[in-house]
Structure formats: C-alpha cells, structure tokens
Amino acid sequence: MAEKKPIEETDDLTLRFDSDGLIPVIAQDADTGCVLMTAYMNKEALDKTIETGFATYFSRSRQKLWKKGEKSGHFQKVKQILVDCDQDCLLLKVSVDAGQCHAGYQSCFYRELDKTNPQKLNHIAKKVFDPKDTYK
C-alpha cells in the first residue's frame, strides 16, 4: 500500500475550506505584481471562476456570489490560479483594465501604517477613478 503524501507534496487538489465553506483569495495583477485585493470563495465561486475565466467571489456580507466588476465594469480576467502549500489559500493572477478597489484606487492596499504613529494611516496611492461616477 502506497504511503499517503503530505499535503505539501501531493499533486491532488484537496482545498481546505473553513467551517463556513470559504477559502481566502488574493488577487494580484499578473503584469505588475501589485496585490489588488483579498476576498473569499466558496466551491461554487471557484467553479464559476474556472468555467468563465473571470474572478467570481463569495460576499460574506451579502451571502451571495459576485463577479468582480459586475457593478463597476472593472473585471478580473484570470490568467493563473495558484494554491498555497497548505491548500487553504488561493492566489489569482489576473489582468485588469482599471482600478480594483471600490474606493477608487488601483489596489485595496492604498494606505500604510505610519512608522512614527502606528495608530495612523498614510495614503500611498492616488485614486484612479471616482466611485461616485462608477457606482451611481
């Protein structure tokens, strides 16, 4: 009988969804390497993403699937799906045409902790679109 390989060594997909059936997902610009956002997927969202080639996530607040860009028009075309060593997190390498953050920035990570006052945030990016115009 063959010895079972540890999850870090196996070629079998055995994603480890949490107790709510979700797995965290990081979206990264495939061209620039910029981390765009984090979100969650359930099995259905992952299947939809694979089927359509466009990132589909599960909204924890609305308790439903959402295709990134369905309201803003700023879609994520999936180029590659990477699985981490423990199979409990995904990384989507995507191509994008415009800002990805609902606040109007290219990335959701547009602020950093202030080095002298860690209770303060400093903006490190400029808006690339006006959310008031996009989400009418």
Average pLDDT of adjacent 10-residue blocks, the chain of 136 residues: 81 95 98 97 98 98 96 95 97 93 95 96 95 88
Per the CB < 8 A criterion, the answer to whether 67 and 54 are in contact is: yes
Homologous superfamily of the 23-134 domain (CATH): Phosphoribosyl-AMP cyclohydrolase (3.10.20.810)
Q: In the prediction, which pLDDT does 52 show? A: 98
- What's this model's pTM, rounded to 2 decimal places? 0.90
Distance CA 117, CA 115 (A): 6
Q: In the prediction, which pLDDT does 10 show? A: 86
Q: In the prediction, which pLDDT does 26 show? A: 98
Q: In the prediction, which pLDDT does 7 show? A: 85
